[in-house]
Structures are given as structure tokens and as C-alpha cells.
């Protein structure tokens, strides 16, 4: 039963470094539910910072990060963790898998701490995802025997195993060659679209940009004016 994603609204957002330097300033941004958005911009622009803030991993100095009614900026740490656990899927730039676990164990990692009732569904879904991503037969193998593209696909399976309404991805294709990147983008987008998910990805990948509903440009910690429009 796919859940409908909440709309995203940022207001008066400011993220600063621990030293107090402004990293990101966003007066206003709204992202409609069920759309695919790509964030691009030069290195050090603040793309990852934005994504982390959207996931509640960075607490802004001021402003609101509203997913529906939930303002992550005002939520205590355990509630943010719960939000991440229940509503978000995250794909990291360099896959970040547990090398000592199998592909299936990585994909269904959330089952280790999910409520008992949800475990069976989670395991089934992660297995189905691995199959869909072409890794079904090798689920029992340890991750350290997989290639970079395969690992990134396992990371996608892990991000989607909880069937989250929102998927955040930070340069998911950065470490992949063209063919692998294309394949991952195709998989990612079809899986997300199937479930009516909101996708926000940091990427320079032309395939991903082509598939997106909207592209945001970030430079020097600020949104370029033209990208604020839908």
C-alpha cells in the first residue's frame, strides 16, 4: 500500500557550518509530491548540504523544513530518526554498504530494527527489489564481492525496501560508468514513478536530468533564480 508523499516546503532556511559560516540560504522552495527533482551546481555549492538538511541530518540555523505538517527543523532527534526510518529512503554517493553482510542483509537492513510485524513485508520487498535490479540470484553473497554498479543497486534496494514515499539520492551514479549509470537511473526512476514517490537527487547525470520533472541549480549556497520556478 504505497503512501502518498507529503509536499515539501522550505521557508527562510539557513544552514551554517559549525564555525558559523553560511553554507546554504534558501528563502523559499516548494516541491510537489510525486515529482522527480534534480539538484545540480558546482562542487562545494551546497547540494549535499541541502539534501542532508532535507533528511534531517543537518539541523538548520533557522527556518523551516516542512514535509507536509512535519517541520524537521523543530523536531527532536528521535522523532527525526523515526521520520527518516518511516518516510525517507536515502542513497548515498558512495553506496555505503555493510561489507561484512550479504546483499540481501544489506537490502533488508531496516528489518533489524523494524517492528516485528513489519519484518516479513520488508524482507519480501527487499528480495523483490533485488530481483528487479537483477541481483536476485546473488542475494546471499557478501557485498565485498560485488562491483561498484551492483553495490549501488543494492543501496537503491535498501533505500526502497521500506517503501518510503520520499527518495533522496546524493549523486547515485557518480562512481559508475555510463552504461551502469544509465541502467541505475532507469531503475531508480521507474521504481520511484511506479510508487508515486517524490524523488530528489543531486546529480549531473544527463540521463537523470532528462528524466526529471524539474532541475534546481545551486551556487554558493543559494538557489539560482530561474530554478525556483516550476
Ligand X SMILES: Nc1ncnc2c1ncn2[C@@H]1O[C@H](COP(=O)(O)OP(=O)(O)OP(=O)(O)O)[C@@H](O)[C@H]1O
Contact footprint for Mg ion (CB under 5 A):
48
Q: How far apart are CA 197 and CA 51, in angstroms?
A: 16
Q: Is 83 in the site for another protein (CB under 8 A)?
A: yes
Q: Are 53 and 24 in contact (CB under 8 A)?
A: yes
Q: Is 227 in the site for ligand X (CB under 6 A)?
A: no
Q: Is 37 helix (H, G, I), strand (E, B) or coil?
A: strand
Q: How far apart are CA 149 and CA 191, in angstroms?
A: 17
Q: Please pick, from the candidates 43, 116, 226, 229, the single residue that binds another protein as defined by CB under 8 A.
A: 116
Q: Please pick, from the candidates 18, 20, 76, 115, the single residue that binds ligand X as defined by CB under 6 A.
A: 18
Q: How far apart are CA 26 and CA 14, in angstroms?
A: 6
Q: Is 188 in the site for another protein (CB under 8 A)?
A: no
CB of 182 to ligand X, least distance (A): 21
Strands (E) located in the chain: 8-16, 22-31, 36-40, 62-67, 70-71, 88-91, 166-170, 198-202, 214-219, 222-223
Of the pair 49, 106, the CB lying nearest ligand X is at 49
Q: Is 106 in the site for ligand X (CB under 6 A)?
A: no
CB of 78 to another protein, least distance (A): 6
Of the pair 116, 229, the CB lying nearest another protein is at 116
- Residues interacting with ligand X, by CB under 6 A? 17-18, 23, 41, 43-49
Amino acid at each position: 500500500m504505497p503512501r502518498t508523499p507529503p509536499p515539501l516546503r522550505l521557508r527562510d532556511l539557513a544552514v551554517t557550518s559549525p564555525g558559523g559560516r553560511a553554507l546554504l540560504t534558501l528563502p523559499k522552495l516548494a516541491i510537489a509530491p510525486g515529482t522527480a527533482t534534480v539538484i545540480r551546481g558546482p562542487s562545494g555549492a551546497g547540494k549535499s548540504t541541502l539534501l542532508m538538511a532535507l533528511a534531517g541530518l543537518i539541523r538548520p540555523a533557522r527556518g523551516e523544513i516542512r514535509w507536509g505538517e512535519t517541520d524537521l527543523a523543530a523536531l527532536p532527534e528521535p522523532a527525526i530518526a523515526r521520520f527518516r526510518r518511516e518516510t525517507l529512503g536515502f542513497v548515498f554517493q558512495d553506496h555505503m554498504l555493510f561489507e561484512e553482510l550479504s546483499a540481501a542483509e544489506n537490502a533488508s537492513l531496516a528489518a533489524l530494527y523494524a517492528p516485528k510485524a513489519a519484518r516479513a513485508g520488508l524482507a519480501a520487498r527487499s528480495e523483490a527489489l533485488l530481483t528487479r535490479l537483477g541481483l536476485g540470484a546473488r542475494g546471499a553473497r557478501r557485498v565485498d564481492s560485488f562491483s561498484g554498479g551492483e553495490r549501488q543497486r543494492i543501496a537503491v534496494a535498501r533505500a526502497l525496501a521500506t517503501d518510503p514515499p520520499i527518495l533522496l539520492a546524493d549523486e547515485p551514479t557518480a562512481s559508475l560508468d555510463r552504461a551502469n549509470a544509465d541502467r541505475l537511473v532507469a531503475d531508480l526512476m521507474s521504481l520511484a514513478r511506479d510508487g508515486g514517490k517524490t524523488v530528489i537527487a543531486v546529480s549531473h547525470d544527463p540521463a537523470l536530468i532528462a528524466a526529471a520533472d524539474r532541475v534546481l541549480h545551486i551556487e554558493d549556497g543559494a538557489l539560482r533564480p530561474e530554478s525556483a520556478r516550476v
